[in-house]
Each structure stands twice: as structure tokens, then as C-alpha cells.
Structure 1
Amino acid sequence: MDPRTAIDYLPASGSPELLFLLFHGVGGQPYDMSPLMDRLAAEYPRAALVALPAPDAFDGVPGGGTGGQWFSIREIHEHNRPLRVAAAMPGFVQVVRAQQQRFGIDWPHTALVGFSQGAIMALEAVQQEPQLAGRVLGFSGRFARLPEHAPVDTTVHLLHGLKDTVVPPGPVVDAARRLVALGGDVTADVLPDIGHELHPLLVERAIDQLRSFLPKRAWREALGEAPVQNRVASSRELGRGGTPE
């Protein structure tokens, strides 16, 4: 399969109500996100799901992948990672906006879903671009640097393996604590015995968070419109107040 080709999953009929945009890891390709796409499509049949290819060919170490990259990891370290992410961000945001326009889906009903380097881009995108997505699901990724603010009306779901040696979980936990301190909407799940992978247990945990986590915006709207009743968020409320290297 051509690593430069996007993969679309669309509703069987009618216009989509939600939009999930998926971003693969460094050296990977859209097809790598298929197991997660299958699970999301089963849970949200009225959603459009698009796995997108990274814009540049992988230039890293031999054997590290034959696909693409969102930014180069050659000689990467803590100080130059934010600069590389920032340089790649305008094109990344443009792709997100183009897909929203394609389907006529607004930002609260858009979820960004990334793995590894794709998660880095998705997480940093909502830091740098207001009203880009209602939810972000970051699998085995991290922020390029500790967040300086919490994105407004965007829910961030961090999902990681405790045995991940490629992107260790420490920075993820630190970022979750920072977002909580900043008043953001964030969940963080670090599961044992999982390495750097899009593990089925992480996928199911993400589905659980999408089903059950009601964002602050939804609570604010409910309080302003009607008496609040205790209930679990439905799949149709994915976009209310939010959602998804």
C-alpha cells in the first residue's frame, strides 16, 4: 500500500456528524492506524474517519520505517524538538482545516487522534491553534514541551504504556499534571505491561473515555440551559464541548 495515500472510512449513508483525523508515527503510514479506525468506526458509525499521511519521507535510521514523518528526528533532543514541531505546524493545521471544510464539520465535532510522532503533532496543534478540535487522543506521544496553557474547550486524552522506552511515560504524566493545574480538561491513562504500541487495551481505554468523559463545556452549557441530571455522555455528544511520534 502506498504510504502517501490517505485512508477514508465514511458513513454508509448520509453526511457525517463527527470527524476523526488520525496521524501515524514517524516512519509509518496511514494503514498503521487501521485497527484503531476499525474500532472507532464500529463505535461511531455516523463519523467520517481519515488517516492522513505525513508530508515528508522518513529520513531517519535504516530500518526505522519506509513511510513518512511529520518532522525529522535526526539528532533530535529536548531543545530542538519544539522548533521542529513549530516549523511543521502550519502545514499540519492546514490539513486539519481542509478536512473540516471537506466534510462541513466544525471544530467541536472534530477529534485529532495521533500515535507517537502523530500524537506530538496533534497535542501541540491544539496548544498553538485555537478552536482546532474538540478532543485530542494522544497514544504513546507527548507534548514537545510542558504546556504553558490549557486549550480552551478542548479535551485531551493521554494514553500510554508504562513500559514504553521510545517515548517514556514520565513527560506525559508531567504534562497531565500541568494541564490539570492550568484548569484544562485532561485524562491520562498509563497502563502496565505495554510498550510503544497502539495496544488494544489502550484503544479500549480511549473508547471508554470518549463514552464517559463529559467535558467542562458540556457541563457549562447544561448548567446554563436546564437542571443537570446525572448521566453518561452518549456517542452523539462526542463533539459537544469537545471530541478525539
Structure 2
Amino acid sequence: MLDGPRLAPLSGGKPNKLVVLLHGVGADGQDLIDIGAHWAPLFPDAYFVAPNAPDPCDWGVGHQWFRLAVRDAHEYWLGASAAAPKLDEFLDAELERLGLTDADLALVGFSQGTMMALQVGPRRPREMAGIVAYSGRIAGVERLKAETRSRPPVLLVHGALDEVIPVAALQETEKALRDAGFAVASIERPGLGHGIDEAGLAAGAAFLKRIFATADV
């Protein structure tokens, strides 16, 4: 079972929302849990967790959701689909442990973590609250429409100068999601490389506020 750093609700009470932060290749949960700490005052009843990916990174540092050797669409699909059951198992266990449902769940991914969020989210039978996808792309674009089981709203944020995953992936991913019937918002951050800036964090927080408020109705 996956595990990683966690932040209990600042309110000290029972959590009413779960935010799962999915890191990129060569990193670990500690790299993203600070986002939870940044957002926690805005969501005092939310529980944040940043699981470490299941495999040691081939680069010798951190973890990876799947191997990146040739970096092509087929490799992304094979890797993301193979790792998905482990993430699904973790999400199911966390929701059960906290007494929450998919409607209370948001996934926040960065880079390879975004690939995992966009792999798992649409294929879960019950719709989660939403997905925040930073600096990533979708794997298996051509398979998405046929395999979609639920359509959570998605926010895509990408740096215009991303040197790892070019910003063209933003348009490709947005089109694939829209064609499959998803509600999508996208933000291209000028001057930003492969990372998350303050404007991106603020946009993510605003998106979570909106989707969580909707889930409470």
C-alpha cells in the first residue's frame, strides 16, 4: 500500500474533504505536501496526503510512478495504466478510513503525477470532486473517451516555457478532455518553466474552493 506525508485538518475535527497530492518522477510526497500546508488555512477541515510513488526512481533519487525510458505516448500509456491500480487502491483505502466518498476527493498532480491523476480520475466509477493538473499531460489520449466512467471537472496549469513537458501538451490534453465531455479550465503561465508558481497555486486553491462548495450542495 502506498503511503507518504500527511496533514490532518487544521480545525482539529473530522475531515470533510480529502486532497491527494501526486508528485513527479524523481521526487517524493515530501515535495508536494508543502502545497497542502499552503492551502490548509483555506480548507481547515480538509485532510491532505502526498503518497510516495510505488517504485524507486531509475535516476537514483526519489520515486517514480512508472519508468521513463523513451518518453513516447506508448510508454506513458503503459506506465500510467500499470500504476493505476495501486493508486486506486490507496484512494479507496483513504476514503474508507476517513469515512468520505469520491465526491469529497480532489486529486492534485504535478508532471508524472498529473498523468496519474488524469489516468485514474476519469476511470473511477464514482465521480470525484475534481482534478488539478500541473505541468503534465494525459496518457492514452485515443483511449480516454471510450474508457471514461466519470467526468470530474479539471483545471490544467502549465508553464509557457516548460522544458520538460512542452506547453503543447496543455492544448492536447485540454482537447482530449473536452472531446470526452469533461468541463475543463486551462491556464498557461507566461515565463514559467517546469514548475508551479504563486499564480498557479492561487488558481488551484480557487478551483478547489469552487468544486468543494459544489460538492456540498
- Common topology (TM > 0.5): yes
Q: Report Cα offsets for 1:98-126 as digits up to 9, x if no partner.
A: 11111111001100111111111011102
* 1:130, distance to aligned residue in structure 2 (A): 2.2
Structure with bigger helix share is 2
The aligned residue for residue 177 of structure 1 is 175
* 1:5, distance to aligned residue in structure 2 (A): 6.0
Task: Give the counterpart of 1:148 among 133, 145, 155.
Answer: 145
Corresponding letter in the other structure for 1:45: P
Distance in 2 between the 1:238 and 1:38 partners?
23
The aligned residue for residue 22 of structure 1 is 21
Structure 1 pair 21/140, CA: closer, same or farther in 2 (3 Å)? same
Check the 8 A contact 1:59/1:74 in 2, yes or no.
no
Equivalent position SS for 1:42: helix
Equivalent position SS for 1:15: coil
* 1:238, distance to aligned residue in structure 2 (A): 5.3
* 1:174, distance to aligned residue in structure 2 (A): 2.0
The aligned residue for residue 125 of structure 2 is 130
The aligned residue for residue 239 of structure 1 is 215
CA RMSD of aligned residues (A): 2.0
* 1:37, distance to aligned residue in structure 2 (A): 1.0
The aligned residue for residue 230 of structure 1 is none
* 1:163, distance to aligned residue in structure 2 (A): 0.6
Check the 8 A contact 1:151/1:184 in 2, yes or no.
no
Q: Which has the higher contact order (CA 8 A, sep 6+)?
A: 1
Gaps of 5+ in 1: 215-235
Distance in 2 between the 1:103 and 1:171 partners?
35
Check the 8 A contact 2:123/2:150 in 1, yes or no.
no
The aligned residue for residue 48 of structure 2 is 49
TM (norm. structure 2) is 0.89
**Higher Rg of the two aligned structures:** 1
Distance in 1 between the 2:111 and 2:24 partners?
5
Equivalent position SS for 1:148: helix
Gaps of 5+ in 2: none
Distance in 1 between the 2:161 and 2:109 partners?
19
The answer to whether structure 1 residue 111 and structure 2 residue 87 are counterparts is no
Distance in 2 between the 1:5 and 1:183 partners?
32
Task: Give the counterpart of 2:192 among 187, 190, 194.
Answer: 194
* 1:153, distance to aligned residue in structure 2 (A): 4.4
Task: Give the counterpart of 2:64 among 59, 63, 69.
Answer: 69
The answer to whether structure 1 residue 13 and structure 2 residue 12 are counterparts is yes
Q: Figure out how many residues of one structure are paired with residues of the other and give that number.
A: 212
Distance in 1 between the 2:151 and 2:161 partners?
31
